[in-house]
Structure 1
């Protein structure tokens, strides 16, 4: 893609996620049957918000490079890369893999069939399917400079921990789990589940780094740091 095409791509995806972050929470908000979903489930939209923020920064980076020049916006470019490598790609890929694996095993664990009466099928795919191809295209579209493995995995772990705290806090406040799968697990099972999520997220992070190096190795190698 040309720089103009990349800029247009970022702009279109950004507006798509802005629309979703506004539209999805308002679906069926007056339905009593969805009270549990909306009271305890807004954490589900964090993946969309995360991608909206990333593509917003990517758009800002595109615009500033055209207006100011590359050398004057190193901070924005570095922040863009940090967001993508430690958050956007690992989290979106993780959600895509885990959601659909559980959905096909037993959809009641993550997305009860009753929600189909209120949420169009495209909304489910917008939240849990489109996030992966958009992130994958971004990986192939342009190079991203990864931090050291120690820093990258530490930031990913911190974000995972913050999300776990949010899930537990919402449960304490509302008595409802963000996803029904947690209700079927014992306290030890929940601990093991959260531990496994970090291991999988870390594996995805390293996989994304491999893809980035395979596609852009000659470009990103000079800025890579040793652990």
Structure 2
């Protein structure tokens, strides 16, 4: 099992790094680039999907490092620093953010894909790349949740870290709008100010709910196994 877990972490980390490299080097979508746009990373950092992709690549790379110099024991007597970092990133950011990106993307996509991923993008954006960024992120993080125990921080701390992260991104997309005159996501073009506020508040609530979901799933999956491990 340990060898399989190490292989899983290595393959996923490599995949995310490859996806990020491929996107930067082989995907050019004119409609995704504003007249006034950021020069670095081809303007990709305006999308939460890319923020999440980078976060997942960093997280699974830390998992690989933890496999080598840390520990994946359910209840180690002394938790290595790299393991504590791994657990903190997954609980506060990696799980809720990957689920948020995947769920919001596909929900809006199935309601009206033109609001999130217009059909015109299909000729520039490979299907496998879309799934790597918006589907696999949920599958892989759920596998990680099932195969590795992590200690959640206090709810106040964890939700505060996630809230600050999302607030920073919210401010970021408004800075981009002020600079370029365009919204990052087409759906924001069809919402007036009151509806945008409701939309953002709803998404913020969803994000915090996903944090609580991860905490709950972790407890359900690992409470019995952790109890047995402590007895040993």
Taking structure 2 as the reference length, the TM-score comes to 0.86
Q: Which residue of 2 aligns with 1:224?
A: none
3-state SS in 1 of match to 2:70: helix
Alpha-carbon distance change, 7 to 189 in structure 1, aligned in 2, over 3 angstroms: same
Gaps of 5+ in 2: 228-232
CA contact (8 A) 2:70 2:80 kept: no
User: Counterparts of 1:10-89 in structure 2 under 5 Å?
Assistant: 10-29=9-28, 32-36=30-34, 39=43, 42-43=46-47, 44-65=49-70, 74-89=80-95
- Cα distance between partner residues in 2 of 1:172 and 1:117: 29
Shift of 1:189: 1.8
Q: Which residue of 2 aligns with 1:149?
A: 155
**In the alignment, which of 118, 129, 146 is matched to residue 124 of structure 2?**
118
Q: Which residue of 2 aligns with 1:166?
A: 172
Instruction: Please provide the CA RMSD for this pair.
Output: 2.1
Q: Deviations over 1:174-224 (max 9, x none)?
A: 222221111111122222212111211111111111111111114657xxx
Taking structure 1 as the reference length, the TM-score comes to 0.87
**In the alignment, which of 138, 143, 151 is matched to residue 132 of structure 1?**
138
Q: Which residue of 1 aligns with 2:199?
A: 193
- Cα distance between partner residues in 2 of 1:147 and 1:83: 10
Number of residue pairs the alignment of both structures matches: 216
